Structure 1
């Protein structure tokens, strides 16, 4: 079954399966790449060094360590966009973000990251 989980302040679409061996979670490659880029962007805010050469496993270990030292969970940095949208576009962006329970800025960042991955592959 498809489900969205929140890992380190980032919503990730995944597939959950329950079998004889227990619960398993599969995250598609493109979502793993998006999570990786998110962690590279966010971890320095929590005093962890992350580079483009860091593996996803290393980044997750750093994120777990960061969250263990916090009283809560990591959050995606809020950005103020340096430009304005047409009102219709802004409304669509806000509605789409609300449906996914994220901010419009977070949605825009994800759209850009996804498009970037498509172009770079």
Structure 2
């Protein structure tokens, strides 16, 4: 079953797997890459030193520690993009972001990251 979960302040698409009485989640590889990029970008705000070469496991451990210390959820730093959009494009962006329960900036970042992975993945 497809589902969208909030992991450390990022909405991630996943599959819920039920095997008898056991419940698990599977996150597609492209969403794992997006989560890793997000954590590399966000964790320094919470005092964790990470690099793009940090393992996903390490990033998740740091994220759990950060959220326990916060007694809440981590959030992505807010960025004000220096771009001006045509009003109809801006409305579409805001509407699409609202449907995904994220900010327009977060949606733009997700689109850019996905396109980057698509392009860089093809070159490698």
- Per the shorter chain, which TM-score range? over 0.9
Matches of 2:33 and 2:51, distance apart in 1 = 14
Q: Which residue of 1 aligns with 2:115?
A: 115
Alignment of 1:27-38 (within 5 A): 27-38=27-38
Q: Which residue of 1 aligns with 2:65?
A: 65
Does residue 21 of structure 2 align to residue 15 of structure 1?
Answer: no
Structure 2, gaps ≥5 residues long: none
Deviation at 1:120, TM superposition (A): 0.5
Q: Which residue of 2 aligns with 1:88?
A: 88
TM-score by length of 2: 0.95
Describe the superposition over 1:57-92 as per-residue Cα deviations: whole angstroms up to 9, x where unpaired: 110001001111112110111110012111111010
Provide the secondary structure at the position in 2 that maps to 1:4: strand
Deviation at 1:21, TM superposition (A): 5.2
Does residue 53 of structure 2 align to residue 48 of structure 1?
Answer: no
Matches of 2:46 and 2:52, distance apart in 1 = 17
Matches of 1:72 and 1:57, distance apart in 2 = 20
Matches of 2:74 and 2:54, distance apart in 1 = 19
Task: Name the count of aligned residue pairs.
Answer: 121
Structure 1, gaps ≥5 residues long: none
Runs of 4+ off more than 6 Å = none
